Structure 1
Amino acid sequence: MKRKKFRSRLLLLVVICFIVFLFGKSDWITKQLYPVKYNGVIVESSEKYDVDPHLIAAVIRVESNFQTGRESPKGAVGLMQLMPTTSDWIIERANLEHIPAEKLLHDPTMNIELGTWYLNHLLSQFDGEKVKAIAAYNAGPGNVSKWIEQGTWSGEFATADDIPFGETRRYVQKVFYYYNKYKEVYPKL
């Protein structure tokens, strides 16, 4: 009987300690759930191209979960999942020296820089409206412009359910979920 009572008290103590640990270290746990890698590169590209670093981190999280070497079934490569044709277009428009696809696949610095340049371009194209730019990052700016012109989608997050492409609809929702989380967890990213 004493042994059973001892085990019950020990279990209760362990549970209480665990709960105290969770609440005491909730910031630590949150950062484990929402990690950001390549902070320096993200911040550097953010400052260079005037794009919110939280938005860059959110795109990377949704595109590759911060894992280099990713290639999509459609051929998009790297952390920010850039299509080779888009990368070539960015390199030409930004007057950058040619970057081989293999380097984009494995080099986080190059991939983040090109992806951030492209985000800046899309934000400029859509007058700084982040939701439209993020939809265009996934579906292409032509599709987003067409949806807005035809009245299919308003371009606002509140009406994201009206986005005709299911993949883009989910993409926008995920990116803004992580965008808001990263702003909360890493206010000074």
Structure 2
Amino acid sequence: MALILLFVLVPNLWGRAERLLYPRKYEVLVDQWAETYGLDPLLVDAFIRTESGFDPQATSTVDARGLMQMTEETFIWLRSKIAPDEGLLFANLYDPETSIRFGCYYLHLCMERYNGDVATAAAAYHSGWGTVDALLQMEEHSADGETLQGFPYNQMNHYVKKITSCYARYQRIYAES
């Protein structure tokens, strides 16, 4: 009862609490690179929150690094496309700007490849294009061969649900902004 009374007496307390749980911690960088690559900045925030919890030093069990958790193989491939002459190293993904820049470019490629479908693009960001492309060829996972209706692998399914749920939350929380 006291908690309910607190929310009533202090305007926007719940909204403030939600913004603490779903922050826009790197807003300037996210907005810059999202605009460059035609992405919704709130989608990028959802990926960063899901991938690293906004920890620029995050490293996964497969050695994916940085805010947007990129593997070395993906980083090298993307570097050849957007920064071939910059001398960037895999370790540079611990720098927020580098991670957001490369992560946004990769997310842009996923969104473009999968016709803007967030769930399918998220599956590809997590599991790779080859895995998603193979699933798209199976009727039980895709009716149209372009978007996934099901995510048959537990980790992929869990990841896609986290991204889409987090993105929906960001959209709701920051809708008035």
Q: Same fold (TM over 0.5)?
A: yes
Identity among equivalent pairs (%):
29
SS of 1:136's equivalent in the other structure is: helix
Q: Does 1:102 align with 2:91?
A: yes
Post-superposition offset of 1:28: 1.1
- Partner Cα separation in structure 1 for residue 125 and residue 59 of structure 2: 16
Rounded to whole Å, the distance in 2 between the matches of 1:123 and 1:16 is 41
Of residues 90-99 and 59-68 in structure 1, the stretch that sits farther from structure 2 once superposed is 90-99
* Structure 2: gaps of 5 or more residues: none
Structure 1 residues not aligned, in runs of 5+:
1-11
1:48-94 Cα distance to aligned partner (Å, 9 max, x none): 11111111111111100111101101110000000011011001022
Deviation (angstroms), 1:17: 5.0
More moved, 124-133 vs 20-29: 20-29
Q: Which SS does the other structure have where 1:70 is aligned?
A: coil
* TM-score normalised by length of structure 1: 0.83
Aligned match for 1:83, one of 67, 71, 82: 71
Instruction: Give the C-alpha shift of residue 16 in structure 1.
Output: 7.1
Map Cα deviations across residues 145-185 of structure 1 (whole Å, 9 max, x no partner). Answer: 110112241234xx4xx312211111000001110111111
Instruction: Give, in whole Å, the separation in 2 of the partners of 1:24 and 1:183.
Output: 17
Query: Runs of 4+ in structure 1 displaced over 3 angstroms?
Result: 14-17, 21-24
- 1:70 is matched with 58
Structure of larger gyration radius: 1
Q: Secondary structure at the match of 2:25?
A: coil
Deviations 1:24-66 (A, max 9, x none): 4222122122222100000000111111111111111110011
Q: Please name the residue that 2:163 is paired with.
A: 175
Of the structure 1 ranges 163-172 and 121-130, higher mean CA displacement relative to structure 2 is found in 121-130
Higher helix proportion, which one?
1
Question: Which of the numbers 12, 25, 31 marks the counterpart of 2:19?
Answer: 31
Per the alignment, residue 150 of structure 1 pairs with 138
- RMSD of the alignment, in Å? 2.0
